[in-house]
Structure 1
Amino acid sequence: MSTMAIKILPDGPVSKYIVPIRKSTGLGITDIKNKIENKDLLAETDADDIDEMENLKDLVDDLIKLGANVKIFDSDEFGQGTFNYQEISYEEFKNNIGRLKEILEELQDYDDAVSDED
Structure 2
Amino acid sequence: MHQRKAEMARHSDAFIALPGGYGTLEELLEVITWAQLGIHHKPVGLLNVDGYYNSLLTFIDKAVEEGFINTSARRIIVLAPTAEELMEKLEDYVPYHDRVASKLNWDIAAEIGHLGY
State the TM-score, normalized to the length of structure 2: 0.31
Q: Which has the larger radius of gyration?
A: 1
Kindly indicate which of the two structures has a greater share of residues assigned to strand: 1
State the TM-score, normalized to the length of structure 1: 0.31
